[in-house]
Amino acid sequence: MALKGLTKSAQETKTTEQKIEEFISGSSKRVKNLEASQQVYRRFTFSLTEEVSNEIDDLLVESRVAKANRSIILKAAIHQLQKLSPEELKDVVLKEVHQHT
């Protein structure tokens, strides 16, 4: 029995090597083309009561969104507040002020 027929031809090897090289060079180009996020994030610190912090965590769990975090919950709340009329916003804020005084 001869094993002569089991070797890859030079053409097959060259084609495979070319495909590998094209893949590598293509991925380098794709990485270069990725834009860095234009969004600039800054860290802010503010105080919350333990209760409010727990409520944010509860909302996070209830949202059932895997990519959500505490910041996303706060952003969602802000976006909902922005939809209110000035009078509705004032009423909501006054209600919170009176609740905590």
pLDDT(10) > 60: no
pLDDT digits (tens, 9 = 90+) for 62-96: 999 999 999 999 999 999 999 999 999 999 999 98
Q: How far is CA 47 from the centre of its chain?
A: 25
pLDDT(12) > 70: no
pLDDT digits (tens, 9 = 90+) for 22-41: 777 766 566 666 666 666 77
d(CA 78, CA 89): 11
- To the nearest whole percent, how much of the chain has pLDDT over 90? 49
- Residue in the structure block whose two tokens are 């009561």: 49
d(CA 52, CA 58): 10
d(CA 78, CA 82): 6
Q: Rounded mean pLDDT of the chain?
A: 81
